[in-house]
Amino acid sequence: MELGLLHPDSGHCAEQAYALGRANDLTAIVATTQQSRFHKETLETIAEDVDLKTLNLTVGDNELLVDANLRLFAGVHYGLVGANGVGKSTLLKAIGQGLVVGFPTNLRALCVDQLEVAEGCSSVLEVVMNADKEVLTWRRQAQLLQDALQAEEPEQAVAAVRAVKVAEARAEVESARLINDLRSGTRGNDARQRLLDLEARCEATEAAAERPPTAREITAAPAVAQGLLETLLENLSIADADAAEGRARKILRGLGFSTRQIDGSVALLSGGWRVRAALAQALFVEPDLLLLDEPTNALDLPTILWLQSYLKSLEDTTIVVVSHDRAFLDAVATEIIVFRHKRLAYHAGNYTEYEQNAEEKQLHLARLQEGIDRKKAHIEKSILNNEALAKKTGDDKKLQMVASRKKKLEDRMGMEKNDKGHRFSRNKDMAGYHLKSRIDVELDAPDVAAAWKLPEPGQLRTRGPLLQLEAVSFTYPEPKEPTLAAATTAGNAARPPPARKKPVLSNITLCIEQGSRIALVGANGQGKSTLVKLMMGELAPGGGSVQRHPQAKIGFFAQDNVERLVIGKGASSALAHMKELHPDVKEQELRGHLGSFGIKGALATQPMRALSGGQAVRVGLAAVAFTSPHLLVLDEPTSHLDMLSIGSLMACLQAYSGAIVLVSHDQHFVASVASQVYLVEKASLRLLENGIKDYIKEIRKKLHGNQ
């Protein structure tokens, strides 16, 4: 099956902008592994496992992995974690594009990266169904043969048979070429000879297809076409092609597509919906190895919960997922791969279990080190005392004892038990050559989230709510009705005016007090961003009122903040952006403020387009927070952040004494920051008594009812 990368149209995404100067070009990626002299890694493996030793991954001159072990067991769902920029996405691309030398050729690996639109596709449904290239080829060849047989013209049957045979010959050559590129030595010579034979056979088949058909070929063509058709139909039956449309529709509905969108043109999809369509392609194909890079970024919470349930049901598919959504990762992953220090480390359990185990392990090792240090100090003191006494008395035996203890101090200080808790054995637990008989305790402190700091808001002279909405309603303006002349064609009367639009929000009442911690949740398109714009005065209510405290400062981090910074200010630096916003403030003060969000030193003067998504978010938050707002309104602030950065943001928001209104689909983030959670749904606003847990329960109930 022909698989690789699926790409969502990224024209609407700032990822392309701030990735300039970074290695997105696949030709710059080099991935090599240790190969046996027989190159058995390039053969088809019986089990669908991957175990590649000494994997080295580089982009240009930048080493991302050095002598790492890539180990993936069939059917296991892995979460790949690591700081932004370590190379997680590059690793997934290298595997999905087949750039890893020695990767088993029979494993179908697919990385969701872009939306592929096959030639001739018009609807979203067709785009998803045609993502399976092998089945698509079978369908087209079967249709070609059926049309030829129905025409009852032998010459047409000859042309169809020839076309199918040429396509098969070309496919065999391409498969042989892939194997030939991965082999050397004796097996390489064999692969090269097979490739040459197939190329010669393919050329002969192509040449034969150009010659006029013989009478014998014309006579036999219908029977040959019928035989080829039966084989193709059998292949389609095994692939359950008849059920393909139903399965594709189920996946698209689960990802939030309406029936109109499913049957509608793919050209009408926005950037976010194209991301969902690319994800639908991957889920439809069901490869042996599914690689997902931040699949929840463009999804709302109902869709995220559907996706995690669907992924869990793929018990025979190996999955590697990169995600900053802790709750999603906990639900999907059964093993964690940590990408750190240019190595890959493996830990059983989900992300929360990995964190707990890592913390417990470090505490255990720290206690071991304390015990070793105490023992070492005791021996050193004993050596000094005995050495002084031996010199004073001239006791040779004591001097021998001192020498023995010095040797023990140098040679036998370290781990006394192995990882299994058994007594340490030099022969079993220390392979290779070592200078001492014990392994030192290695304290590998985990990465710690950098401390971000929000400036505290000043005291307001008068009390009262910071912001209050009373019976607010809003409806987007109706499109202008066409004139009679424009609407009348070929003598037809003008169409009736469109039905009046339903309100996006109706009778919304909300009071935001000083120190409030409010989260707005709900499916995409329900009006959360509209409500935020009404709060900020970017939209005027159609009914009701929005009142703001006359002295309160409000800071707004918009959903498209990163895109506007990177695309609109791409050539400018973070420091220049802050100077533009606050021309009267000294540079030292602006640098200090940026530094409180981790934008320090040379990073503050780099072009914005050279920053990572997480760094651009920090610049945006720094700009919003500079005026010490009394109310922070944050619309999807975690979209481009990694786990550590989300932890930093959570910590600084928890320490912040001002009020917060938060829009987010991140369950863990909402639960950690908000004390009140409101559901925006069906134009109304409803307080959830048990917070985000109530919303999750409602979604799961709906999902269960739709099954």
The per-residue pLDDT for range 302-339, each reduced to its tens digit, is 999 999 999 999 999 999 999 999 999 999 999 999 99
14 pLDDT above the threshold of 50: no
Residue 507 buriedness (CB in 10 A; 0-12 / 13-18 / 19+): middle
Q: What is the DSSP letter of 482?
A: P
Q: Could you give the percent of the chain with pLDDT greater than 90?
A: 39
The domain 467-478+501-706 having CATH identifier 3.40.50.450: the answer here is no
| Exposure b/e, 124-145, CB count within 10 A at least 16 = b | bbbbbbbbbeebbbbbbbbebb
Distance between CA atoms of residues 535 and 556, nearest Å? 10
242 pLDDT above the threshold of 60: yes
Global model pTM greater than 0.85: no
The mean predicted confidence, pLDDT, of the chain is 82
224 pLDDT above the threshold of 70: yes
37 pLDDT above the threshold of 50: no
Break the chain into its structural domains and give their ranges. Answer: 1-132+253-349, 142-238, 364-429, 467-478+501-706
680 pLDDT above the threshold of 60: yes
Question: How confident is the model at residue 319, as a pLDDT?
Answer: 95
Give the model's confidence band at 494: pLDDT under 50 very low, under 70 low, under 90 confident, else very high: very low
Distance between CA atoms of residues 355 and 341, nearest Å? 17
Show the tokens assigned to 111. 């990385």
Give the model's confidence band at 195: pLDDT under 50 very low, under 70 low, under 90 confident, else very high: confident
Give the model's confidence band at 490: pLDDT under 50 very low, under 70 low, under 90 confident, else very high: very low
Residue type, 434: H
More confident of the two residues 387 and 556 = 556
Residues 6+ apart with CB under 8 A from 280: 128, 248, 251, 252, 255, 257
Give the model's confidence band at 678: pLDDT under 50 very low, under 70 low, under 90 confident, else very high: very high
Question: How confident is the model at residue 489, as a pLDDT?
Answer: 45
Q: Could you give the percent of the chain with pLDDT greater than 70?
A: 81
Region 64-86 average pLDDT: 92
257 pLDDT above the threshold of 70: yes
Question: How confident is the model at residue 129, as a pLDDT?
Answer: 86
Tell me the per-residue pLDDT of 656-667, one tens digit each, with 9 for 90 and over: 999 999 999 999
Region 159-166 average pLDDT: 88
Tell me the per-residue pLDDT of 517-549, one tens digit each, with 9 for 90 and over: 999 999 988 999 999 999 999 999 999 999 999
Judge whether 1-132+253-349 and 467-478+501-706 match in fold: yes
Region 93-122 average pLDDT: 76
More confident of the two residues 423 and 363 = 363
Residue 55 buriedness (CB in 10 A; 0-12 / 13-18 / 19+): buried
| Least confidently predicted of 17-26, 62-71, 480-489, 589-598 | 17-26
Residue 1 CB neighbour total at 10 angstroms: 14
Question: How confident is the model at residue 291, as a pLDDT?
Answer: 94
Distance between CA atoms of residues 481 and 431, nearest Å? 81
439 pLDDT above the threshold of 70: no
Residue pair 620/557 in contact (Cβ under 8 Å)? The answer is yes
Q: Which CATH number fits domain 1-132+253-349: 3.10.180.10, 3.30.70.360, 3.50.50.60, 3.40.50.300?
A: 3.40.50.300
Question: How confident is the model at residue 21, as a pLDDT?
Answer: 39
Show the tokens assigned to 252. 């698209």
| Least confidently predicted of 188-192, 491-495, 603-607, 688-692 | 491-495
